[in-house]
Amino acid sequence: MSESFPTWLCPMAATLTQRRFTGPEWVFERKLDGIRMLAFKNGSEVRLLSRNKLPLTGAYPHVAEAPANLRAHDVVLDGEATGGWGRQGSADYNVFDVLWLEGRDVTGLPLEERQALLRRIPLRLPLGRVPAVDDPEPWEHARREGWEGVIAKRRDAPYEHRRSPHWLKMKCEIEQDLVVGGFTDPQGG
């Protein structure tokens, strides 16, 4: 028996951390600097909503067409819109999670299982998948590449509709040497 298709799902939010770590229980992804967007596809109807429930379908009509063409009858995708002004890669909508698939809420599944489901959904541009960062020091990789940072996600964690300690964002601090100088007019002494 399938569940009733959701009109809204509160997106999971990452918690900022200053810690830098790795471990086999974590997956690391590039932190994108765009607009958080959920894509709801139910049959031929597609709605794009921001993390604050603002409608984005009209702002991204070419992105809205792409989920409409997916083989899945009903699906909810979570990702980041980076097309246009903030393009980061070739996709306009960078998908990193699936919350609903074919009549079923999949948020209770561990991240690894949700990612396996997402890999089975053929995404074509303007949709793209956010790949894992395969580096022993993912935050250093992000710094070298000039990214905003990385997101660490626990492999075994369900999708929580809140700010969660199972998703941690590690921002890259911009470092620059700076010399501050001053001048005072001579006072005759």
Positions marked active-site: 31
Among the listed residues 76, 52, 91, 83, the one whose alpha carbon sits nearest the alpha carbon of residue 3: 76
Cis upstream peptide for 126 (omega within 30°): yes
Among the listed residues 44, 21, 12, 1, the one whose alpha carbon sits nearest the alpha carbon of residue 114: 12
Cβ(151)–Cβ(36) under 8 Å? no
Question: What type of residue sits at position 152?
Answer: A
Q: Give whole-number Cα distances, 78 to 1, 140, 151, 175, in Å.
A: 24, 26, 14, 32
